[in-house]
Amino acid sequence: MTEALIVRRWRRYGADRLYVTAESGARVGCVDLQSGEVIVDEPILEAGVRKAAQAYLRSYVTELVLPFQVEGGLEELDELRALDGDVYEPGVRTRASSVRVRLDALTTQGWHVVHSVPLGRQGTVVDHLLIGPGGIFTVRECAHPGQHIVVRKRTMTVDGEPVAYQRDARLEASRVQALLRAAVGSQLTVRAVLVLQGIVDMAPGERPDDVLVMARSDVPGSFLNLLERIEPPRVDAIAAIARQRTTWSR
C-alpha cells in the first residue's frame, strides 16, 4: 500500500531539520541537516525517511509531498505502534506509550518507576512517577505528531492554540510532593516533567524554570545525565513507600 509523506524544513535558533510526517499528521521521523542524524519512531521507516529527505533537498521547494511505499501499509504500521504502545491521537496524552518502555530502561541504573499512580479517590492518575539518584519526577506525555509546539517559560501553544500542560504538570507534581512528604516523613522535592511529541520550538533561554520539558528521544538519556541528589538506599526506601496504595489515598 502506498502512503503519502510530507516533508517540511524547520530552521530556527541555529537548528536546521527536516520533519517527515504522514498525511494524518502522525510523525514519521526527522533529519538533522547539521549532524546528519536520522530519528525515526520505527526502524522500518528509516530508509523511507532518508529517501524523502534526499528528494526534498533536490526539489528546491518549501514543502514536498511524495508517495512512500510501505509493505503492509498502515495496517502494518498500526501493529508496530501497538507493540510499542503508542497512541497517535493529536492533543491526547498517551497513557500507554513508549515513554513507559524508555523509563523502564532506567531501572538498570538504580532508578525506580511507578506507573499509573492513583491520586485520591477522584480518579486522577499520574502517568509515571520516576525516583532515582537524580531526583523524583512526575512524568506525563503530550502527543501532537506533526504539529508545532511553542514552549516559553510560562506558556505553551500547539499550532497557535494555548494549552495548560505546564500548569497541570506543576499542580500534579505539587500534589505528589505533598503526599509523598507526608508518607515519608521528611522534606523532598518532586519536579514535573513534560515529554512532548511534535515539532518543538523551545529556545534555550525560554526553558521553563519549574517544569522539565523534553522530547521523547531525550528519554532516558536526560535523566542519566543528572547529578546525584539522592543516595541509593534512600532511593529504594522512597520507592517502596511510593508503591503502597495507602500513600496516595490520603
Give pLDDT tens digits for 8-26: 888 766 677 888 887 666 6
The mean pLDDT value for 104-114 works out to 91
Indicate if the pLDDT at residue 233 is higher than 90. yes
Q: Which of 107, 69, 145 is nearest to 223 (CA)?
A: 107
Q: How far is residue 119's CA from residue 247's CA, in Å, rounded to a whole number?
A: 9
- Give pLDDT, residue 69: 53
Q: Which of 129-133, 168-172, 188-192, 202-206 has the lowest mean pLDDT?
A: 202-206
Indicate if the pLDDT at residue 86 is higher than 70. no
Close Cβ partners of 152 (under 8 Å, ≥ 6 residues apart): 206, 208
Report the top-level CATH class of 98-248.
alpha beta
Q: How far is residue 112's CA from residue 243's CA, in Å, rounded to a whole number?
A: 10
Share of the chain above pLDDT 90, in %: 35
| C-alpha cell recorded at residue 132 | 532515582
Q: Could you tell me where in the chain the CATH 3.40.1350 domains are found? A: 98-248
Indicate if the pLDDT at residue 45 is higher than 80. no
- Give pLDDT, residue 118: 85
The mean pLDDT value for 210-214 works out to 92
* Residues 18, 66 contacting (CB under 8 angstroms): no
3-state class of 141 per DSSP?
strand
Higher pLDDT, 1 or 219: 219
Residue-wise DSSP of 108-129: GGT-EEEEEEEETTTTEEEEEE
The mean pLDDT value for 193-197 works out to 92
- Give pLDDT, residue 122: 62
- Give pLDDT, residue 151: 93
**Distance set, CA 241 to CA 45, 131, 175, 179, 244 (Å):** 42, 11, 16, 11, 5
- Give pLDDT, residue 26: 67
Indicate if the pLDDT at residue 110 is higher than 90. yes
The mean pLDDT value for 88-115 works out to 69
| Mean per-residue pLDDT of the chain | 79
The mean pLDDT value for 89-93 works out to 36
Q: What is the pLDDT of residues 147-186, one digit of tens each?
A: 899 999 889 999 999 999 999 999 999 999 999 999 998 8
Q: How far apart are the first and last CA of the chain?
A: 53
The mean pLDDT value for 112-131 works out to 84
* Residues 139, 99 contacting (CB under 8 angstroms): yes
Higher pLDDT, 65 or 128: 128
| C-alpha cell recorded at residue 49 | 525517511
* Residues 37, 48 contacting (CB under 8 angstroms): no
- Give pLDDT, residue 104: 87
The mean pLDDT value for 124-153 works out to 91
Indicate if the pLDDT at residue 78 is higher than 60. no
